[in-house]
Chains A and B, each alone.
Chain A
Amino acid sequence: MVIIKSRRALAANGQPEPPSMLRMFRKGLEVLTGSSQAEEALRLIFQPTENIGIKINTIGRRAISTYPETAVTLGLWLGKTFGCEDKIIIWDRTNEELKEAGYRLSRSEGSLRIMGTDSYGIGYGSQPVINRSVASLFSKIQAELVDSTISLALLKDHGIAGITGGMKNYFGAIHNPNKYHDSNCDPYLADLFEIDLIKKKHRLTILDALRVQYHRGPAYHPQWNERASQLIFGFDPVAVDVVGWKLIENLRAKKGLPSLSEEKREPTYLQTAENLGLGLARLNNIEIIEEEV
């Protein structure tokens, strides 16, 4: 795992600075892949012919969603690197949520595509994909339009799941996430990720921890929202979320709040995911490199 911090990540108005974002992305991927060149790192992860999806989370609208400044900066960089912006799709469930989070929708040829599953002609598949406890229709963006995906999720405390990060972001790829919030979303989140349409396409998690909602999430509550000015990168979808969880616990402890375990909402789905072979759920087993730009 790689944590990239930057004091200049957020401008005085609290919004991300695109040049700083780009520096953080470049550094994160260089360190993660061991490449000296960030573009080379991208080429190690993605094939030039692939359509790449950037799954973001916009349920919290402008107050608490993946920042457009972050996602669009990443999308444009990917497009420039592979010479074709319209092979990059920034997406989430609905156009309405995307717009309210500050995104400008686009499906134009030659430019970055930004769209919701409810866009005209997209929608969900017609038959449920079944795996263990999960049976869901998949967004056609995830199922048909993209070959590989980046989960660019906002790190937040979650009243039921414990935390919401890169894995839970994929709840936005199915039609019925409301059915999978029982028992701390466990085992549903792990069972969902195990489906080939996600597991085989997922290449990278980038957790947006520029500002972290460490309590009473996933809704925005400014009194429990803290500037952390970091992005967390990893190929292992479970380990990245474990690192994010640790960050939330640290912030909670600093503010004198009980741990998630004390509040009976520890994200147990991460251990379930490890049991399914999806990644590492024990912090002791995860190598973490921190850098600052």
Chain B
Amino acid sequence: MRRRDFLQRTAAGSGWLLTYNSLRKGQRLLAVEASPAAGLSRVEARYYDRLPDREIKCRLCPRFCQLGDKERGFCGVRENQNGKYYTLVYGQVASYNIDPIEKKPLFHFLPGTMAFSLATAGCNVACKFCQNWEISQMRPEQVQSRYLPPEVVAETAAHYNCPIVAYTYSEPVIFYEFMYDTSLQVRRKGLRNTVITNGFINPEPLAELIKVVEAIKIDLKAYNQDFYTNYVRGELKPVLESIKQIAHSKVWLEIVYLVIPTLNDDPKEIRQMAHWLKTEIGPDYPLHFSRFQPMYLIKNLPPTPLSTLERLRDIALEEGLHYVYLGNVPGHPGENTYCPNCGQLVIERYGYTIKKISLSGNKCRHCHQTIPGVWS
């Protein structure tokens, strides 16, 4: 598509051209045009079974929602309409932005590049500490959205020289069809796809997704089921299964663990988790310990003390993981990548900024140890 055609096509909706032209790197934009209920998408969902009496059973995530006519799943964005299951958020983008890839965070995936990042409303869990609850815990008709079909997402990312598209902010699993189709368009442009997810997805759709994306970051919320029950309303086991499935594929994987004081910061559990990761997927996938800030339904706890983060990082390193990072602590040495062989600094970071890279291709410039990741 020529740029002029693209602009003419996308400018059909009032306000879009202005928004498109005013989008700048680092700027977070909430689309300004309300999406009326009638404007919800109505694209048939994938991964569901039709049952008798116009009921359906969703097979996208481990909830397996079974729904009667006119009912929606836990995610709030997939609806049974007369025995057929539809996604209501295909192309209905509630938030988009150009972010550094380090913000996701993905530290071993094209460092220093920008990702065109987007989300729709909805989520298949309900974390009490959600940072993006104003879109993730909403139904699509309750947020302002803009229609950005897959080819427009790919075109926009290319236009802004973003080598990456990131499906993020809310929970991409719930806009699976849109993400999948967009990923194909993005690849056609020579760009790459990354998914920032809770990993609460069934093996079959994940296997298909893995074929069209290049990197996945999983938020592992805790290493015990009680936390998943009480603070996430999800399940740990399927998330661990997803981690294994991704690690055994060609897709790059990183794991983030948000450390919430007193709730999921037990050093024993962290040791068990690090041991499990090393045993099941090996020592080379990065693990990020992120600092919690009070928000949404958990405002009574303080930000994670730095000493806690440092202690947990030490434990994970002791267990043999090679790349353990700290997040939301700009300037801390735990943001940097060190060669596990010679101990030299190979990537120096400050917040989301790359200050120095000492890699030759994918090897440490000092000792030539291979540093796993996607570097070019």
Contact = CB atoms under 8 A, between A and B. Distances in A.
Interface residues of B, number: 26
Contact of B76 (A59, A95, A178, A182): A178
Interface stretch (A25-33, A202-210, A214-222, A274-282): A214-222
B37 A94 contact: yes
Interface stretch (B63-71, B219-227, B238-246, B276-284): B63-71
A179 B126 contact: yes
A159 B66 contact: yes
Contact of B142 (A95, A124, A130, A181): A124
A179 B68 contact: no
B48 to A, nearest CB: 16
Given A178-B139, A220-B69, A135 B297 contact: yes
A218 B141 CA distance: 22
B75 interface: yes
B139 A176 contact: yes
Contact of B75 (A95, A118, A178, A182): A178
A118 B139 contact: no
Contacts of A60: 70
Given A124-B142, A179-B137, A96 B71 contact: no
A128 B126 CA distance: 13
B53 interface: yes
B74 A179 contact: yes
Contacts of A175: 137-139, 142
Given A118-B141, A175-B139, A218 B74 contact: no
Nearest to B77: A178
Interface bin, chain A: 20 to 34
A218 B68 contact: yes
Nearest to A60: B70
A37 to B, nearest CB: 41
B53 A218 contact: no
Q: Which of B66, B68, B75, B137 counts the most chain A CB atoms within 10 A?
A: B68
Interface string A271-289: 0000000000000000000
Contact of B68 (A96, A130, A159): A159
Q: Which of A118, A123, A181, A219 has the most CB of B within 10 A?
A: A219
B373 to A, nearest CB: 37
Nearest to A157: B68
B38 A216 contact: no
A33 to B, nearest CB: 36
B84 interface: no
Contacts of A128: 296-297
B70 A181 contact: no
Nearest to A95: B37
Contact of A219 (B69, B74, B142, B233): B69
B199 interface: no
B70 A219 contact: yes
A124 B141 CA distance: 12
Contacts, number: 60
B72 interface: yes
Interface in B74-102: 74-76
A58 to B, nearest CB: 10
A225 to B, nearest CB: 13
A95 B36 CA distance: 11
B68 A219 contact: yes
Nearest to A128: B297
Interface in B103-130: 126, 128
A96 B126 CA distance: 27
A59 B67 CA distance: 14
A178 B233 contact: no
A178 B54 CA distance: 19
A182 B142 CA distance: 22
B55 interface: yes
A9 to B, nearest CB: 25
A182 B67 CA distance: 12
B150 interface: no
Contact of B297 (A124, A130, A178, A179): A130
B73 interface: yes
A279 to B, nearest CB: 26
Contacts of A179: 74, 76, 126, 137, 233
A155 B65 CA distance: 23
Nearest to A221: B53
Contacts of A135: 128, 297
Interface string A149-189: 00000000001000000000000000110110110000000
Given A176-B139, A179-B233, A118 B297 contact: no
A59 B70 contact: yes
A95 B75 CA distance: 22
Interface in B10-68: 37-38, 53-55, 66-68
A118 B73 CA distance: 20
A179 B142 CA distance: 15
A150 B74 CA distance: 28
B191 to A, nearest CB: 33
A78 to B, nearest CB: 28
Contacts of B37: 94-96, 118
A291 B297 CA distance: 48
A176 B139 CA distance: 7
Interface of B: 37-38, 53-55, 66-76, 126, 128, 137-139, 141-142, 233, 296-297
30 contacts: A59-B70, A60-B70, A94-B37, A94-B141, A95-B37, A96-B37, A96-B38, A118-B37, A123-B142, A124-B142, A128-B297, A135-B128, A135-B297, A175-B137, A175-B142, A176-B137, A176-B138, A178-B72, A179-B74, A179-B137, A179-B233, A182-B233, A216-B68, A218-B70, A218-B71, A219-B54, A219-B55, A219-B68, A219-B69, A221-B54
Given A94-B37, A175-B139, A219-B54, 7 more contacts: A159-B66, A178-B72, A178-B76, A179-B74, A179-B137, A218-B71, A219-B69
